[in-house]
Amino acid sequence: MKILIAFAGKTGCSREMCQLLATHLARHEVTVADLCVDTPDPTGFDHVVLGGSVRMGKLPRALCLYTKKYGAALSCMPHTLFLLCAFADQFENYAEMLFPQSLLDTADEVVYFGGELNVSRQRGFFAKMLTRMMRNSILESEDDEAALPGLLPEHVRLLADRLCGR
């Protein structure tokens, strides 16, 4: 099976998870495309895995442009959508708000790959804001077991298992 894994992100988390997915799909012909660099036509593939990271409540511009350009084609073929966002409780809201309805309605599934709040990968104002937000969250938390969000490679493996089972 020919699979396109297309992503867009800013800090490298999307790339990391997509490359991990590609390693789990080694038996298939897999193309991993950073949409900020390359925008391959999805029609030459049997399945498309498409997504990226949510930043400040938005998807990367390159991903939005790709869904506008190829949305009709993607809606007519097997595809899976994914998101990375630091707030798991907001995943479904983000998916419904950020992906075109036509892609959501026709997607095989929409998958959550986790997300990080890694200050070392940020720059400028966003890094300062993130540091303050994390500090306040820790200070105000009543949960002694509270943990920072992280990536979920097990979700990537489960998606790969489902794709291999096709």
Percentage of the residues of the chain whose pLDDT score is greater than 70: 80
Give Cα separations from 109 to 79, 88, 95, 145, 148 (angstroms).
Answer: 8, 16, 11, 31, 26
Residue 121 shares a structural domain with residue 111: no
Q: How far is CA 144 from the centre of its chain?
A: 29
Same domain, 81 and 20: yes
Same domain, 12 and 53: yes
pLDDT at 69 over 60: yes
Task: Please determine, for residue 46, whether its predicted confidence score (pLDDT) is greater than 90.
Answer: yes
Range of the domain at 126: 117-149
pTM of the entire structure?
Answer: 0.85
Closest CA to 6 of 155, 161, 19: 19
- pLDDT tens sequence across 111-158: 999 998 665 665 667 666 666 666 666 556 666 565 567 899 999 999
DSSP 151: B
Same domain, 55 and 133: no
Q: If phi over 0 gives left and psi between -120 and 50 gives alpha, with beta otherwise, what is residue 10?
A: alpha
Q: What percent of the chain has pLDDT over 90?
A: 72
CA 10 to chain centre: 11
Same domain, 141 and 106: no
CATH code at position 108: 3.40.50.360
**Number of compact structural domains in the chain:** 2
Q: Which two tokens stand for residue 46?
A: 């049997």
CB atoms under 10 Å from CB of 54, counted, come to 22
Segment 83-115, tens digit of pLDDT? 999 888 899 999 999 999 999 999 999 999 999
Tokens of 70: 């190829």
How is residue 130 written in tokens? 């993130």
Which letter does DSSP use for residue 89 in this model?
A: G
